[in-house]
Amino acid sequence: MVGLENADKSSLRNPRNKRKQRPPNKPRNAKKRKPDVNHNRHAQETTNGSEAIASEPLPLEPFSFFLNEFQTANDVQVSSLELDSMKDRCILGPPESSVQDDKSLVKHVKEAFGSSWKEILCKGELLEGRTEPGSPAVLIISTSALRSIELLKGFRSITQECHAVKLFSKHMKVEEQVQLLKNRVNIASGTPSRIKKLIDIEALGLSRLAVIVLDVQPDVKGYSLFSLPQVRDEFWDLYKSYLHPRIVEGELRICLFGPLQPTRKRRKKEI
């Protein structure tokens, strides 16, 4: 027992209770350094700001936007000859005002006709050899009847003598519109399918048509004239059949009304 009593007591201690040895050259009361919160926050804000600037889309040039939409939707490539005749004159320049509403649209259309806008857009009488019945100078193309009416509100002040004609199917029969188109028409607004139908039956003429307003303003669901199913296809059918040849010949200009948002490519259907 004497041997046990004289044994080294340190060897009987619980090894878990051993003090951790201090690493060399470390001060006894060294404190952990807190991270610089402000520095990290500033770095994060700088990074986020850089990402925001990098991801912000650049403004689209109107002609490039329209050409891309046409070629993508129809799976075609415009020839170099057509491109040369289109690019300098087919798109009406953007409005001076950044605000786009029915009033700014009217002002923009007036500017397109210069000093002769009153004679072209306001007069109501038919002039033999100069103005054919049922042939508007301005044609507004929208996705719906409601939107067509909304855009015509700004034109009320200049359509007192010659009323604008509504060209859509909602609550309006083709026969009624045919009768309206037997008079002088300066401004018309409607949807692609009804417009094409009236051209097909030769009720709506294009001899005076100088400006087409394409309403590309998206609706509450984000769809526009270039992306709304069925309406999109009806519009391009109308455009290829009757409008594109006149644009190539330089007889017609396009006014894009609304933000220029590229349409997402359609997914190919699985076979």
- Phi, psi (deg, nearest 5) at residue 215: -80, 100
* pLDDT tens, position by position, 26-68: 555 555 555 554 555 544 544 444 333 333 444 458 888 899 9
pLDDT, averaged across the chain: 80
Whether 7 has a pLDDT exceeding 90, the answer reads no
The better pLDDT of the pair 261, 94 is held by 261
How many beta carbons lie within 10 A of that of residue 20, not counting itself? 5
Plot region of 27 (φ>0 → left; ψ -120 to 50 → alpha; else → beta): beta
pLDDT value at residue 23: 57
* pLDDT tens, position by position, 74-100: 998 988 888 888 876 788 765 665 667
Half-sphere exposure of residue 27: CA atoms within 13 angstroms, side-chain side: 4
How many beta carbons lie within 10 A of that of residue 65, not counting itself? 19
Whether 268 has a pLDDT exceeding 50, the answer reads no
pLDDT value at residue 100: 74
DSSP 250-262: TS-EEEEES---P
Domain boundaries, the chain: 62-257
Strands 165-167 and 253-257: unpaired
Mean pLDDT in residue range 8-18: 51
CATH of 62-257, one of 3.40.50.300, 3.30.2270.10, 3.30.200.20, 3.90.1150.10: 3.40.50.300
